[in-house]
């Protein structure tokens, strides 16, 4: 689903020379990028996509990426965390905004706020198509998000079901979006509170996968919190090691697979398309060595949980920390 709950400017041409996505809600920022990439590839299947972080965009890099191509190919250049660009690189971006290249769409992701405000103002002055991606801190906003997810795919869910989903899943929009996708894929007809209850409310599997998701995303503190909650509510340690193993293996499978559409990768890897999208987001920061280290950590935890150690909880905590560290292995040298 590429529908972002965000305010857009009147200029809503997805292939406009410049798209500015402003805010700190990662799911909405990623969807803003996905919308542009999908539109570009619909126009030209061979569109070249470059997705860059500030450390990858050195002075002169933008000029190289946007220089005329011999083959006049369409290109999408994504710059994440634009507020963190160096002063020299910001000069390059501002210069580019004055004379954007044909067949190139520049997507700037900016957190908003005072840092990098000059670049933000310059992009707006240049007539950027703007997508607002604010953090959803209020329960009412998250409830509206869930309703919008169901509407976007033409499915009906009762108000009680939407509320139950928010109550069960919590504040993470990725979790909520994935839950909606799973329900839509698995359930026919109207989705009601009873269906949500069968899938999520109090299910050990749900809490186990929350631990795994937070760990493979490198969010150690949140993963440990979820782990302690799961154990306190009676989730079997073996279920948690299983979820951790599945999470790490999914990262490894997708990172070694050929690029392609989620539907194609889903067939190749035996995962549902919604999970392909989810794992793609979780892959950032992972390296092959990181995957290997994480798999070893899971194996050690599994041995500890199944009788090879005196403290299964400590074995799980150790594995969660190791996986979260592996998820941030890229760039550590």
Q: Where are the domains positioned within the chain? A: 18-133, 139-200, 208-327
Distant-in-sequence, close-in-space partners of 282: CB < 8 Å, separation ≥ 6:
213, 216, 217, 247, 250, 251, 327
Coil, strand or helix at 103: coil
| Of 131, 143, 187, nearest in space to 168 by CA | 143
Instruction: Compute the average pLDDT of residues 137-160.
Output: 92
pLDDT for position 114: 92
**Main-chain phi, psi angles of 183, to 5 degrees:** -60, -45
As a CATH number, domain 139-200 is 1.10.8
pLDDT for position 193: 84
pLDDT over threshold 90, residue 202: no
Encode pLDDT of 250-264 as tens digits: 898 888 776 666 667
* Domain covering 18-133, topology: Rossmann fold (3.40.50)
Encode pLDDT of 42-86 as tens digits: 999 889 999 999 999 989 999 988 887 656 678 999 999 999 999
CATH 1.20.272.10 given to domain 208-327: yes
Q: How confident is the model at residue 299 (pLDDT cuts 50, 70, 90)?
A: very high
pLDDT for position 330: 64
CA angle in degrees (0–180, nearest 5) for 113-125-101: 110
Better pLDDT: 54 or 231: 54
């Amino acid at each position: 689903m590429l529908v972002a709950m965000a305010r857009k400017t009147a200029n809503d041409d997805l292939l406009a020379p410049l798209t500015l996505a402003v805010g700190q809600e990662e799911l909405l920022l990623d969807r803003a990028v996905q919308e542009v990439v999908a539109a570009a590839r619909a126009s030209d299947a061979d569109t070249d996509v470059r997705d860059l972080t500030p450390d990858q965009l050195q002075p002169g890099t933008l000029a190289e990426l946007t220089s005329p191509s011999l083959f006049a190919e369409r290109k999408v250049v994504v710059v994440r965390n634009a507020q963190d660009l160096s002063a020299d690189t910001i000069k390059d971006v501002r210069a580019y905004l004055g004379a954007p290249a044909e067949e190139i769409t520049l997507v700037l992701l900016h957190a908003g706020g005072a840092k990098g405000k000059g670049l933000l103002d310059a992009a707006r002055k240049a007539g950027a198509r703007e997508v607002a991606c604010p953090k959803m801190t209020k329960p009412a906003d998250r409830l509206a998000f869930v309703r919008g997810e169901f509407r976007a795919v033409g499915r009906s869910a009762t108000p009680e079901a939407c509320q139950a989903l928010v109550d069960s899943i919590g504040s993470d929009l990725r979790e909520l979006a994935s839950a909606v996708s799973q329900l839509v894929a698995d359930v026919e007809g109207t989705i009601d509170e009873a269906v949500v209850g069968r899938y999520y409310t109090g299910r050990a599997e749900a809490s186990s996968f929350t631990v795994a998701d937070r760990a493979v995303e490198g969010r150690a503190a949140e993963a440990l919190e979820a782990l302690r909650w799961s154990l306190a509510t009676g989730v079997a340690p073996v279920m948690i090691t299983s979820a951790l193993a599945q999470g790490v293996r999914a990262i490894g499978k997708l990172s070694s697979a050929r690029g392609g559409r989620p539907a194609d990768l889903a067939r190749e890897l035996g995962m549902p398309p919604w999970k392909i999208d989810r794992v793609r987001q979780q892959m950032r920061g992972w390296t092959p060595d990181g995957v290997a280290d994480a798999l070893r950590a899971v194996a050690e935890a599994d041995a500890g949980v199944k009788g090879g150690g005196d403290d299964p909880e400590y074995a799980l905590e150790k594995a969660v920390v190791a996986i979260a560290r592996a998820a941030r292995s890229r760039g550590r040298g």
